[in-house]
Amino acid sequence: MEEKGLIVALIVALLIIIILVLVVVISSMGKKSKKVKVVKKQGIVKGKKYTIEDMVELVANRNTSKNDLTNIIIKVSKEFLFPQKIKGKMPKDIKVYLNFVLLIASHKKADAKLIAFMNSTLKKANSDYSTEIDIYENEGLRQRSNRG
């Protein structure tokens, strides 16, 4: 009789252990499937006021799409004209504009067509800076080739 009781107790304990293992496995599977990755929308939001620094920040993000880069170039060429040269010299705040050119040229999702578009668009809007635009574009291309 004692042997039957011992066998029944072992079977019950084994069933409890199997049930606990199944519960843990099922609950861990449920947690993995419930995880939702939240991705912040990149690009320009219509109606929002932007600064040139905002545009540079969008371009600096390596996940910005080619389409967004194109829209940003258009917006910068229309709304963010480079500051005028003072007696033939560049003002101090020009650096952020030229940094924009560098970041576009070195962006991993920018191709030759987009870079040429940026070059022509910005030069039309800022003819005084055509030499500087070329210099910063070439530096961006150099940085891009160094990355491989």
- 24-76 pLDDT tens trace: 888 777 665 444 444 455 567 777 899 999 999 999 998 999 999 999 999 99
| Cα–Cα distance measured from residue 97 to residue 56, given in angstroms and rounded to the nearest whole number | 8
Query: In this structure, what token pair is assigned to residue 109?
Result: 């999702």
Query: In this structure, what token pair is assigned to residue 35?
Result: 């995880």
- 73-96 pLDDT tens trace: 999 999 999 999 998 899 999 999
- 2-28 pLDDT tens trace: 788 888 888 988 889 999 888 888 877
| Cα–Cα distance measured from residue 69 to residue 67, given in angstroms and rounded to the nearest whole number | 5
DSSP secondary structure letters along 5-70? HHHHHHHHHHHHHHHHHHHHHHHHHHHHHH-----PPPSPPTT----HHHHHHHHH-TT--HHHHH
Say how many C-beta atoms besides its own lie within 10 A of residue 47's C-beta: 5
What does the chain come to in residues? Answer: 148
Q: To 10 degrees, what angle do helices 130-147 and 95-106 make?
A: 40
Please indicate, yes or no, whether the overall pTM of this predicted structure exceeds 0.75: no
